[in-house]
Amino acid sequence: MALTRRDFAKRSACTGAGVALAGSVGALGTAPGALAMENAQGGADRFDPAAGYGPLLSDPAGILALPQGFSYRVITRSGVTKLESGETTPSHHDGTATFEGPRGTTLLVNNHELKGPRSDWEHPVPLTEGLVYDPAAAGGCTVVEVHRHGGHVAEWVGIAGTSQNCAGGRTPWGTWLTCEETADKAGQHGMTKDHGYVFEVDPYDRRANLDPKPIKALGRYEHEAVVVDTHRGDLYLTEDASDPNGLFYRWVPPHGFRHGRGQLRKLADDAGVLLAPKCYDSDGRFVDDLSRATRTGTVYRVDWAEVPDRDAQSKPVREQFADDEVTRARKLEGMWWADGGAYIVASYAREESPVQHDGQVWFYCPRRRTLTLKVLLGVNKNPAADGALDGPDNITVSPYGGLIIAEDGEGIQHLFGATESGSTYPIARNELNVGTAAEPEFSEFTGVVFSPDGRTLFANIQTPGIMLAITGPWRRQP
């Protein structure tokens, strides 16, 4: 079904007022639109013991600690569960989206963040005939079908031969845009084709995924996530890169373009316009890096500059701009479209940025052309402490209010909620130690997303690669 801009869902008031984030240390942001508690002392933001579902209980199986009354089920596990074709599930699960499947099932498209040649990985994405972009590359996506009441699980390849499929985004027309977080060109790291593109994967129609074609109109760079403006049809994309720091992009479709299944792959390589942001503060001063914002409620006006060479054949896209021409940010990661705009994560900033922090969430309002800081985490001084927070990454808006955030920081890793009233609460803690007893190491959480009916929260432990379904007494959070 083709969709015009008028066909998209109604937009909201674009306030971005649906989420908040707070810690137990710091001062409440009081600027207009501030929905977060920032840690002005630079200590670790922590959970609010009065919020959420109570403390996490240790898991005898050593995988996932959850609150009382919650449980989990392993859906896929790298090297253990099998695809329909007989190969084992690929490793390094990352960005994920859910779709309503047939006969009460849920379909999930699951990225596998595998970079470089296939020989580097024990469990690459199988090279399924007709679904391969570059036979030298190890990454791709699988499609997982899960029955609502448990039991049967099926998994098959959606796309193969792509590289470092990190995040991506669900489209309003029911497909998944998978993003390569690499800019390797043919001849680099064993690749036979250029990489750094976005590909569309259809969870419903396997034939639609044959002969994969990159959507070059969206640019070639270290992609992270992508969202679709459900009113205007623009796409917004993040880049995880440094030296110099990466950018937040906007793609404007060509006049008359009609979104729909498979339409993006039909575009000419130079279709539409790819733009990068240039931000200004309330006094009209140019802002070179988003880390400059040190208080929640900070609002920047956003102008847009056209990318000269989006396919980056001679120079990476982010290097095509001088530092005074665009606004950069380190570790631009997950995104989610809600409240008439895009929630955008900057996971952390270190020495490569003007100001250090351990996490930001911004809200971009297309109608007002403003970027507002909603979440700010001070530098976490004790990442080994349970409840200390740093490194937000994948995010989703919860049907029970607020945000659900996957942590990709140092030390202990959590799934945690952020309420509209300004509290954070734990949902899960990764207890799978992939290090040693003397030097424990816990992999990041990825792919956090609710089932279409809101009853199940899916999430991944990236290493070694485990997809989990979490159920329990969900309720509205104040």
* Domain-located, residue 476: no
Q: What is the dihedral of CA 309, 260, 346, 125, to 10 degrees?
A: -90
Residue 405 lies in a domain: yes
Output 266-273 pairs: Cβ under 8 A, ≥24 positions apart.
267/215, 267/217, 268/217, 269/216, 269/217, 269/311, 270/217, 270/310, 271/217, 272/217, 273/306
User: Which pLDDT belongs to residue 14?
Assistant: 66
Tokens 């074609």 belong to 213
Q: What residues does 332 pair with on adjacent strands?
A: 346
Question: What is d(CA 387, CA 389) in angstroms, rounded to the nearest whole number?
Answer: 6
Rounded to 5°, the CA angle 234-420-447 comes to 55
**pLDDT in the model for residue 312:** 97
CATH number of the domain enclosing 111 = 2.120.10.30
**274 φ/ψ angles, rounded to the nearest 5 degrees:** -100, 130
Q: Which of these, 2, 393, 4, 8, lies nearest to 229 by C-alpha position?
A: 8
Identify the CA nearest to 225 among candidates 354, 362, 394, 108: 394
Kind of pairing between the strands at 360-365 and 341-346:
antiparallel
Find the domain containing 59 and state its range: 5-471
Q: Sheet containing 176-180: give its strands across.
A: 165-170, 176-180, 198-201
> Is 403 contained in some domain?
yes
**Joined tokens for residue 192:** 């036979």
Total Cβ atoms within 10 A of residue 258: 12
How far is the first Cα of the chain from the last one, in angstroms, to the nearest whole number? Answer: 38
* Single-letter amino acid code for the residue at 304: W
* pLDDT score at 419: 83
Q: What is the distance between the alpha carbons of residues 330 and 343, in angstroms, rounded to a whole number?
A: 16
Flag whether 477 is in a domain: no
Over the chain (478 residues), the average pLDDT of each successive run of 10 is: 33 46 26 36 58 94 97 97 97 98 95 96 98 98 89 92 97 98 96 98 97 98 97 97 96 96 96 98 97 96 98 97 96 96 95 93 96 90 85 94 92 90 88 93 96 96 97 92
List Cβ neighbours of 352 (8 Å cut-off, separation of 6 or more): 242, 243, 245, 330
Q: Residue 478 falls within a domain, yes or no?
A: no
The answer to whether the CB of 241 falls within 8 A of the CB of 219 is no
Contact criterion met (CB below 8 Å) for 139 and 166: no
In single-letter form, the type of residue at position 170 comes to R
**Is 258 part of any domain?**
yes
Count of structural domains, the chain? 1
